[in-house]
Amino acid sequence: MSNICYDHSKKFKPEWAYSAPPGQRAESFVIPFSFQVPADGQIHQGYGWKLDDDVPWLFRGMVFPQPGTGEPEYGLGNPGLVRIYDTRGNPLTNCLNPINPALTDMVLAVGAISQSGYAAINASGFPFGCEIDCERGGMITFDFLIPNATGASPAPIIFMQGTMLGAKLFDEC
């Protein structure tokens, strides 16, 4: 069974709503990441972010600023799309796109890290309905599609950043 856990209707799940497995304790831990992605309207696959290898990590949610808001000179009016995979290669979304099957499982990459002066940024982020158990030292993988709203050639490179939210899982002594 795959770990498809994203549910757009769930806006927030507080830390106390999760419980650690017996004999373990979970300590909140965030993982910031950043990639440089061409804004050319093509799908760019396989952007990986390696997790720490000390203990397993529980993936609980994710937030993105709207791509391009830090580069207003590019005039990116359309937000990018993202597809995210856990450390076992399972997609974390289940969004069929019958018009363009290549976009299946891609969702809008906008989220709760808003930047001052950009009032249109969505503040819901990506909370997951379940925790996703990630292997120590595993790789969270992203696919991105960022439109080229200006038609500039060559396509601008966008600094895509976000934060993965979760907890490190430690054995109790």
Residue 115 scores a pLDDT above 60: no
Q: Which two tokens stand for residue 138?
A: 């595993």
Whether 49 is in a domain gets the answer no
Distance CA 86, CA 126 (A): 14
Q: Check residues 8 and 161 and name the one with the higher pLDDT.
A: 161
Distance CA 86, CA 139 (A): 7
What is the per-residue pLDDT for 168?
A: 92
**Which of 4-18, 23-37, 155-169 is most confident?**
23-37
At position 164, the amino acid (one-letter code) is M
Residue 152 scores a pLDDT above 60: yes
The count of domains in the chain is 1
Whether 19 is in a domain gets the answer no
Cβ pair 95, 105 in contact under 8 A: yes
The whole-model pTM stands at 0.77
Whether 110 is in a domain gets the answer yes
Whether 98 is in a domain gets the answer yes
Whether 47 is in a domain gets the answer no
Residue 167 scores a pLDDT above 80: yes
Whether 81 is in a domain gets the answer yes
Cβ pair 29, 92 in contact under 8 A: no
Q: Which domain holds residue 87?
A: 55-171
Angle at 91 between CA 106 and CA 130, to 5 degrees: 110
